[in-house]
Structure formats: C-alpha cells, structure tokens
Chains A and B, each alone.
Chain A
Amino acid sequence: MKPSLNIPHTSNHGDSQTMPEGLQVFETQNTRNPSEIVFNDDDLAKIEEFKRRYPNQEAAVMPTLWLAQEKFGWLSQESIELVADTLNMPHADVFGVASFYTMYFKKPKGKLHVAVCTNISCQLCGGYEIYNFIRQTFGLENGEVTGDGKLSLEEAECLGSCGTAPVAQINNGDYMENLTLEKFKAFLKDKGIL
C-alpha cells in the first residue's frame, strides 16, 4: 500500500509567523509570574562550569539557554533577559540566538510536545499519516498547543533517524521510532490524551 504523502498546503514554519507582507515575526511571550524566573546557586555553579569550557563567556549562551529552558519549561522574554544579564550580554544578542533555533521554545508548549518528522524518508514511510492524524484529531497546526495545554505539535525536519522512519521526538528528548498509527494512538491513550 502506498503511504499517503498528503502534504498539508501550508508553508507555516512553526516557530515563526509569516505576516501578509512576508515578514517573519517571532513571538516571545511573557511569563505569568516573572518573579519565579531566577537562577539559584546550583544553576550559577553550572553556568560557571559552562563558561570554563570556552575562552569567551559569550559562548556559554547556548548551554545557559538550555539550562533556562529545562528549568522554566520554555524561554519567555524574562528568561532570555535573565540569561543575558547572567552572562553580561545585550538582551538583543541573546534573543537573537534564542530565536535562531527551533528547539528553544519562545512560546509555552504543551505538556506533551510531539515533533513528528515528515522529511523525505519519513514521508516515504508514512510520517504524514501520524502528523495529519494529530492535526485532524486535535485541530492543531504546526507550532500550536491544544486549549487545555496538554499537547502541542511540531512538524519536525529530519531527526537523523531515517532508518527507523517514521519517527517522532517527545518533549525534545526520547525518539519514538518505527512508528505506526496504532503505536502512536496507544501512546497517546497511555498518556491520557486520546
């Protein structure tokens, strides 16, 4: 049977929005309670260790952004400013770095963030069946979160696992490989989402 290759007719790129004039706009939202956005002594010790890896402390920005994201769940305007202040960098520079990469979340994601690879090898092996199933079942498009905040969807680019296509990555961590619709539905049921 030929897997469906139904590419949704959109050029939505997920973490950015294209305005009618063709401009790409990155949204960064504010945290509800900014007073929670602080690094404790443990974090600061880790950041000192990051800095020691490089001759120039600016280079610690990526590991520090990772630390902030793992701690706060996503990178709000406040978290980005906190990283900048900790590393003595201009806010705009850190924002520039954070906005460059798709894995730094500039908006809150769902509790379960599913990135489904639909790039060529996964496409050939049915990646769009999984991706379109989520779109249709939950009414989500690339980069969106369900109203209850439980699930968010991303159309991932090649995850470097083409030999076990189709593949999805959960919460920037584990891979689900050799996916089938059945396997994926069972997983969502297990998580109480389906």
Chain B
Amino acid sequence: MRREPQYTWMFLAGVLVAIGCGSRPQDAAATSQEQGGAKPVRLAQATEGSGVAPAPAGSGTIRGTVKFSGAQPAATHIKMDADPQCQLQHKEPVSKQDVVVNPNGTLQHVFVYVKSGLEGQTFAPPADAVVLNQHGCMYQPHVMGIQVGQPLEIVNGDATLHNVNCKPANSKPFNIAQPVQGMKSKKQFTAQEIMVKCACNVHPWMAAYVGVLPHPYFSVSGEDGGFSLNRLPAGDYTVEAWHERFGTQTKTAHVGDGETASVDFDFSG
C-alpha cells in the first residue's frame, strides 16, 4: 500500500524522460499534432494501461544522471539547404545531435540499460510498436531502445523522400524508401544489439541509434540528463551507459523490492 504512490510517480518520471529525449519540446508538440499524438519515443516499460502485458513486474528502480565534465563542444549547425523541404521546417538553425550537453551540465542521448543481472529470465516483447519518426529531416528520437521482436514503426512525417538504411549486425539489415509524407513501415529486430545505426542517405546528417535488448530495462538520458530503469526485479545488476561519441561506461547496482538505487555516470569527452 505504501509503495503505490511512489510507483506512480516513478512511472510518470519515466514518461517525462521519454518525451524529453531526442527532440526539443516544440518539435514534440508539432509531432503530436501531425502524427495524431504519436509520442517521439515510448519506452517499453511505459506500456501500462495500453492493454499490453507488462514485463514481469519487479518494483526496484535504478535512477541517476549522466554528467558531462568535458569541455563544452561548440554547437555545430546542420546545413540543410540541399533539400528545401527540410530547411522550410526550421526557423532556427538545427544543431547536430551527436553531442548535446544540457544547461545543467548533463549529457543527452545516452542509452542506459541493464547489461547483466537478468540472465535466465525472459521478457515477452510488447505488442505496441516503438515509433521512429522522421520530422524536419531529423530522427525522433535520435537514440532509442526496443525489445527483440517488438514492432518498430518507422514514420515519415516529412513531405520529402527519406530512405531508412538500418544496418544491424545481428538482425536482417534493410534499406527502404519512404518517399511520401505519412508513410509508415513496420520492421523488427530479431537479436540483441548495442547499437543498431539507422541512417538516411538522402540527408547525410540523419542518424538514429537503436538499442535492441531482450528485456525492457533501458532508458535514454533526456534534457535533464536523467534516466530511470523502472520495475526491476530485486537483484544485482551491471548497468551500462552508451554514447555515440564517448563510448561506454559500466556501473554495478543492487536493488531490493521497492528500493531505488542511484547510479550516476560521468563522461568527460
């Protein structure tokens, strides 16, 4: 009984992190209008109430932030003038997404996941699709997670051609064209992989990274640098943080039922 409110709060925090990541708030708003409310990202554990059986519910949480203690990189802007359809959708210059340091000194777009500690347990993939949107010639989100076998819905929110060239090493690669606005394609990855890179060749700045895991315990650091791995079974875990430029770091953590362990990462560039 005592756990109930805390639980809800954690769930909300998870959703907030999810919305925050990969896109600026105004982008997210534009997306929900055009895409009928499709959120830029839905973490697998945020499926409560959607009618999908959640993974075997634990009640532990691993939470923390990803700090950045390196030199603040100069913001580099993307040149989109080659495709007027892309340029048109941005009033302000768009910054590259590879290194995004938040105002509070934390690092965005870090994929944090349980690397070990869940051996022997199986987690059925949710039937709900994870959405990878292409909006304003940017991927939303830029970094995301998905479960093995979970549907991936790739959406073209733009009135221009994107090709989605995903090159997993462990699953079937694909390179598909989405020439028409609103076009959707369903794909899935059949094996675990950190990380699958998807890119658009028409717009060479477009890249997305997808972490494919056999379980739902992953998160992406958002605009406050925070992440949260929710509803973990009690146990000892190795947690890894992955960043596209700065590589990986691991930490260990113990969580008991209803407990929250905190783990912080610090990338220095």
A is bound by B: no
Task: Give the interface of B toward A (CB within 8 A).
Answer: none
Residues of chain A having any CB pair with chain B under 8 Å? none
